[in-house]
Amino acid sequence: MKIANNLSPFWMPFTANRQYKASPRLLVAAKGNHYTSHDGRQVLDGTAGLWCCNAGHGDPRIVSAIQQQAAVLDYAPSFQMGHPAAFELAARLVQAAPEGFGNVFFCGSGSEAVDSALKIALAYQRSIGQGGRTRLIGRERGYHGVGFGGISVGGIVGNRKQFGPLLTGVDHMRHTHDLERNAFSRGLPRYGAELADDLERLVTLHDASTIAAVIVEPVAGSTGVLVPPQGYLRRLREICDRHGILLIFDEVITAFGRVGSMFAADRFGVTPDLITTAKAITSGTVPMGAVLARAGLFEAMAQNQPENAIELAHGYTYSAHPLACAAALATLDVYRDDGLFERASALEDHWQEALHALAVKPHVADIRNLGLIGGIELAPRPGAPGARGYELFTRCYEAGVLIRVTGDIVALSPPLTIEPDEIDLIAETLGRELSTLS
């Protein structure tokens, strides 16, 4: 297939544009667990797109639901208006959520879900007479999208340093990465539950009466796959409860089967007050994000306002877009009918062993995994951080496997439809390329 002869107008996101355009990689089609590259090769999708295509690609049930919705109702406003699929989807999500959830706020992406959740937390605290609680707490190495709220609570320096002082009143807990104690953990690392006590340190510093909410990824993805230490999330929940602080789980990558359950909250048995999600809610087919709120938050906000008051002055043109709602409803059906969350669970051991077999390969400093998530941390080339990771990425792509790298860490998250022999192929390809990588 011919590539457009002028690649420069498209300012590509999170991309080294000049490097990419000197040697472009285009995907022109996708079906099942494979992409087709512009030079006609089949490329196994080891990343479910960007952690989103959990049902694989081109499922006819999802495609036709989107097509039908586009033909019947292409767009409907959600401000003081509504359409049936939005109400149906919200009801289904609440039903599928951990016990005690009552409402869903829709938006267009994970970044919007994060900003929406932070705003809901602030507005809720204000509505219960805790208007002094304006502080937001994130965590080092956290990724919460790219809105100003998200990068403020986020903890990835490269995503923050270009953009000035960000939101005020934000602080960060320590991250949980500890290679000295936890390298090559299978599943949850053993050491580090006490790192949750870092929240107590911030409470001591700022006083609980100034803190609205804490946001964490149950499993941190973009920073390079950090699985929470055993007991860490439960301890965080306890500290939040003790101090009247809302707990937000950013489940943009962990929801919808990635760790073998609907939400990571289910797998960990820890219930937050707000859950942000996006990506696999539509299996990546139509942009959509959502915030799930514990029952009682909306009611608290509504109770002291007249009935004609807008309870939350927030929303997007594309909140509950009909195409996204139709895609999400069909995707939820596919997850249920094909048992994809159970499938992810059943494949977890095979996935874990295939990845950990790479421990003997050159440059490998750590391997970590949970559900169908894998992280392989490489030692960086001296004086050239990221170079080894990038070369591994391009080599695997040439060899027919799409992986993701963040610096020198490989992050893997295949569709939940992945076959055992395809898991083996991902590991074999990585192993072969690592063996010859300098």
Q: Tell whether residue 425 is a contact of ligand PXG (CB under 6 A).
A: no
Cβ-based nearer residue to ligand PXG, 66 or 114: 114
* Chosen residue from 33, 54, 78, 109 binding ligand PXG by CB under 6 A: 109
* Chosen residue from 46, 49, 98, 145 binding ligand PXG by CB under 6 A: 145
Cβ-based nearer residue to ligand PXG, 44 or 278: 278
In angstroms, the CA 11 to CA 137 distance is: 32
Integer CA distances (angstroms), 380 to 67, 367, 409, 413, in order: 46, 15, 9, 22
Taking the complex as a whole, how short is the minimal distance between the CB of residue 112 and ligand PXG, in angstroms?
A: 7
Taking the complex as a whole, how short is the minimal distance between the CB of residue 287 and ligand PXG, in angstroms?
A: 7
Where are any strands of DSSP class E within 140-241?
170-173, 211-216
Rg of the Cα trace of the chain?
22
Which range, of 36-44, 174-182, 360-368, 403-411, touches ligand PXG by CB under 6 A? 403-411
Q: Tell whether residue 321 is a contact of ligand PXG (CB under 6 A).
A: no
In angstroms, the CA 52 to CA 206 distance is: 37
Site for ligand PXG in 273-292 (CB under 6 A): 278
Backbone angles phi, psi at 365, to 5 degrees: -100, -25
Integer CA distances (angstroms), 274 to 135, 166, 258, 282, 367, in order: 16, 23, 19, 20, 30
Q: Which amino acid is at 292?
A: L
Q: Tell whether residue 114 is a contact of ligand PXG (CB under 6 A).
A: yes
Q: Tell whether residue 111 is a contact of ligand PXG (CB under 6 A).
A: yes
In angstroms, the CA 244 to CA 203 distance is: 11
Q: Tell whether residue 125 is a contact of ligand PXG (CB under 6 A).
A: no
Q: Tell whether residue 140 is a contact of ligand PXG (CB under 6 A).
A: no
Cβ-based nearer residue to ligand PXG, 220 or 427: 220
* Chosen residue from 103, 127, 159, 222 binding ligand PXG by CB under 6 A: 222
Site for ligand PXG in 15-54 (CB under 6 A): 50-51
In angstroms, the CA 401 to CA 403 distance is: 6
Minimal CA–CA distance to 393: which of 90, 54, 47? 47
Query: 402-407, long-range: CB within 8 Å, 24+ apart, which pairs?
Result: 402/35, 402/43, 402/44, 402/45, 402/46, 402/47, 403/46, 403/47, 403/430, 404/46, 404/47, 404/50, 406/222, 406/223, 406/224, 407/224, 407/380
In angstroms, the CA 304 to CA 327 distance is: 36
Which range, of 108-116, 231-239, 375-383, 395-403, touches ligand PXG by CB under 6 A? 108-116
81 touches 87 (CB < 8 A): no
Cβ-based nearer residue to ligand PXG, 153 or 245: 153
Which range, of 250-258, 290-298, 317-325, 339-347, touches ligand PXG by CB under 6 A? 250-258
In angstroms, the CA 283 to CA 315 distance is: 23
Backbone angles phi, psi at 179, to 5 degrees: -70, -30
Cβ-based nearer residue to ligand PXG, 98 or 108: 108
Minimal CA–CA distance to 412: which of 259, 224, 271, 203? 224
Cβ-based nearer residue to ligand PXG, 250 or 366: 250
Cβ-based nearer residue to ligand PXG, 59 or 217: 217
Taking the complex as a whole, how short is the minimal distance between the CB of residue 80 and ligand PXG, in angstroms?
A: 26
Cβ-based nearer residue to ligand PXG, 291 or 344: 291
Q: Angle CA(132)–CA(205)–CA(276) in degrees, nearest 5?
A: 60
Q: Tell whether residue 233 is a contact of ligand PXG (CB under 6 A).
A: no
Taking the complex as a whole, how short is the minimal distance between the CB of residue 253 and ligand PXG, in angstroms?
A: 4
Copy the structure tokens of residue 370.
């949970």
Which range, of 67-75, 82-90, 215-223, 329-337, touches ligand PXG by CB under 6 A? 215-223
Taking the complex as a whole, how short is the minimal distance between the CB of residue 143 and ligand PXG, in angstroms?
A: 5
Q: Tell whether residue 252 is a contact of ligand PXG (CB under 6 A).
A: yes
Taking the complex as a whole, how short is the minimal distance between the CB of residue 247 and ligand PXG, in angstroms?
A: 15
Q: Tell whether residue 253 is a contact of ligand PXG (CB under 6 A).
A: yes
Integer CA distances (angstroms), 108 to 71, 162, 323, in order: 21, 24, 11
Q: Tell whether residue 404 is a contact of ligand PXG (CB under 6 A).
A: yes
Residue with tokens 């539950």: 193
Q: Which residues of the shown chain bind ligand PXG in the complex (CB under 6 A)? A: 50-51, 109-111, 114, 143-145, 217, 221-222, 250, 252-253, 278, 404, 406, 411
